[in-house]
Amino acid sequence: MIAAGVHAFRHEELDLTTGLVIGDDTCLVIDTPVHGEELRRQIRKITAKPWQVVYTHNHFDHCYGTSAFLPCDVWAHENFRFDQEEQAVWARRYRDEGKPEMATAVEESELVAPTKTFAERAEIDLGGRTVVLHHFGPGHSFCDTVIEVPDTATVFAGDLVEHPAFIEESFGDGDITQWPAALERLLALNPDVVVPGHGSPTDKDFVARAREVLIAGWTSTP
């Protein structure tokens, strides 16, 4: 637990991190891993309140498990689209890596499209607590969503932030030249806790250092 009613869940596969924010009336599930039913069980041990789901972006590891939570509203940025080839690519990759169970799980995942979208900012009233969705421009993807929990100074950054280091697929299909600007706007929220898309929760100082690494990386590319 990060704060009262705010949780981060670590998943062994790809060191994925998902989240949960609980209000007085409802709760918000942040990203769903391929085996979404496992996360569902974890959440039901914490709260019995009805839920909504929000996607931080459209990559398979963050949104392939939503069918386990239906029926519910599903939030995402208006640019959210499923990559029609990604499902087959990752199934093949897992099979090549000797992980047939993961391959099958990816192949059989029901892709659940968003039911509610936003352009730059949206607020979700959970009852006694408001969560704010932000889109700070393209970075890791073209539909990155940052989820802010203002009353706890917590943000869920999706794959705009990975801690302690970016993994092989980090640079995704967004716009790395715009990524530092997205992190600058995230830092302007002045969070005490930043929950990454992969890895353990961190702070704004780490995000500031990651931003400098990104700036150095793309400005030095021929």
> Which residue ranges make up each domain of the chain?
6-219
120: its two tokens: 């730059």
Q: How confident is the model at residue 220, as a pLDDT?
A: 43
Distance CA 130, CA 49 (A): 16
Fold assignment, 6-219: Metallo-beta-lactamase; Chain A (3.60.15)
Cβ proximity of 4 and 151 under 8 Å? no
What's the farthest any 2 CA atoms get from each other in the chain?
53
What residue ranges of the chain have pLDDT lower than 70?
166-172, 218-222
Cβ proximity of 121 and 135 under 8 Å? yes
Q: How confident is the model at residue 221, as a pLDDT?
A: 41
Q: How confident is the model at residue 13, as a pLDDT?
A: 92
Q: How confident is the model at residue 172, as a pLDDT?
A: 64
Tell me the residue type at 140.
Answer: H
| Residue 5, Ramachandran bin (φ over 0: left; ψ between -120 and 50: alpha; else beta) | left
Q: What is the CA radius of gyration of the chain?
A: 16
Cβ proximity of 52 and 25 under 8 Å? no
Digit-coded pLDDT (tens) for 5-14: 999 999 999 9
Nearest residue to 170 via CA among 137, 147, 197:
197
90: its two tokens: 């990752």
